[in-house]
Amino acid sequence: MYKIFETVDEVSRYTAQRLLDTILAKPEAVLGLATGGTMEPVYAQLVGMLEQSAVDLSRLTTFNLDEYIGLSASHAQSYRYYMGQHLFDRLSLPRESVHLPDGNAEDVDAACRAYSTAIQAAGGLDLQLLGIGSNGHIGFNEPHTDFSCRTHVIALSEQTRRDNGRFFSDQSEVPTHALTLGIQDILEAEEIMLVATGSKKAAIMAELYHGGVDEALPASALKQHHNVTIVMDSQAAALLPRQEEGGAA
C-alpha cells in the first residue's frame, strides 16, 4: 500500500501515529527502529504523542536496524547516540529493552548471529520501520545483498558513504563498514513501514514502484511481504503515477 502526503510533517505524524497505535494495541510489542534524517521528525512527533498520552512503555522492546562499525557509542554519528538523542533519552523505556547491533564487538560475526537470534527469542518484530537509501538500500543492505541474509557485516557503497557524508565533518570520517539486520530478518516482521521524503528519493521510489523483485534494488524485497505500507511526501512521490496520490495501491 502506498500512502502519499503533501508534506514531511504529515508523513511524520501519520508514521508516528501508526507506531503509537501499535504500542497501544500491544504494550509488549517488539519494534524494529530505523535511523537517518527521515526518522528525525517521525521520532519528534512520536515523543510528543507519547508525552500527551502517558502510555506505559515498560513492556516494549526495540531492536535497531543497523550500526556503523568502529564508531564509539558516544560518537555523535553512531546510531546508538542518534537513538538516545532523538528517542530513548526522551522516553521512560527500560534500557534493557533497547537493542542495537554492536559495531565495536570483538567478534562481529558472533554478535550478528546473536542479534538475529535475540529478535526471534523476543517473539519477532511486530512492526519494522524503514527508511531507504538513494540506491535503494534498506537498513544497510546495499544493492546485490543476498535476500536470504540475516544480520551481517556490510561494506558500504561509495554512494551511501557520500550520502551519509553530510552528517560527518569530513568525508574521510564516514565508516567503510556497518552491521545491518538482514533482508530475511526484515521480511519476518509482521508489518513493515517504509518512509521516504524529499526529492532525492524520487528516482529510487519510481524505480521501486515500477520494478520487480530484484537483488539490485534491496527495497524491492518488500514486494514479497504481505503487510507493507510505503509512506511518502509529494517530493519523494513526484515520479509516481498521479492516481497513487492520497490513495492505496
Verify whether residue 137 is a known catalytic residue. yes
Q: Smallest distance from the beta carbon of 178 to ligand GLP, in angstroms?
A: 7
Long-range contacts made by residues 164-173, C-beta under 8 angstroms, separation at least 24? 167/77, 168/77, 173/77
Catalytic residue among 64, 67, 137, 152: 137
Give the binding range for ligand GLP (CB under 6 A) out of 41-49, 53-61, 132-140, 184-192: 132-140
Record the cell numbers describing residue 160, joined without a space. Answer: 551511501
- Hey, which residues between 1 and 60 contact ligand GLP (CB under 6 A)? 34-38
Spatial contact of 63 and 116, defined as CB atoms under 8 Å apart: no
CB of 59 to ligand GLP, least distance (A): 26
Is residue 77 a contact partner of residue 71, using CB atoms and an 8 Å limit? yes
**CA–CA dist 141, 158 (Å, integer):** 13
Q: How many residues lie near ligand GLP (CB under 6 A)?
A: 14
Per the listing, cell 531492536 goes with: 63
Alpha carbon distance 189, 128 (integer Å): 6
Pair 154, 141: CB distance under 8 Å: yes
Considering the complex, state which of residue 47 and residue 55 has its C-beta at the smaller distance from ligand GLP: 47
Nearest Cα to Cα of residue 37 among 133, 143, 149: 133
Are the C-beta atoms of residues 60 and 31 closer than 8 Å to each other?
Answer: yes
Q: Which is nearer to ligand GLP, 52 or 82 (CB)?
A: 82
26 vs 37, beta carbon nearer ligand GLP: 37
Q: Considering only residues 61-80, where is the footprint of ligand GLP by CB under 6 A?
A: 65-66
- Residue of 67, 102, 135, 164 marked active site: 135
End-to-end CA distance of the chain: 5
Does the annotation mark 66 as catalytic?
yes
Distance from C-alpha of 242 to C-alpha of 96, rounded to nearest angstrom: 45
By CB under 6 A, which span of 1-9, 100-108, 126-134, 145-153 interacts with ligand GLP? 126-134
CA–CA distance, 174 with 77 (Å, rounded to integer) = 9
What does the block give as the cell for 11? 508523513
Residue nearest to ligand GLP (CB): 131
Q: For this structure, is 104 an active site residue?
A: no
Restricting to residues 143-162, name those near ligand GLP by CB under 6 A: 160
Residue 135 annotated in active site: yes
Q: How far is the CB of 149 from ligand GLP (least distance, A)?
A: 15
Q: Which of 32, 101, 103, 133 binds ligand GLP (CB under 6 A)?
A: 133
* Residue from the set 41, 139, 182, 218 that interacts with ligand GLP by CB under 6 A: 139
User: Which residues are part of the catalytic machinery?
Assistant: 66, 135, 137, 142
Residues forming the site for ligand GLP (CB under 6 A): 34-38, 65-66, 131-133, 139-140, 160, 164
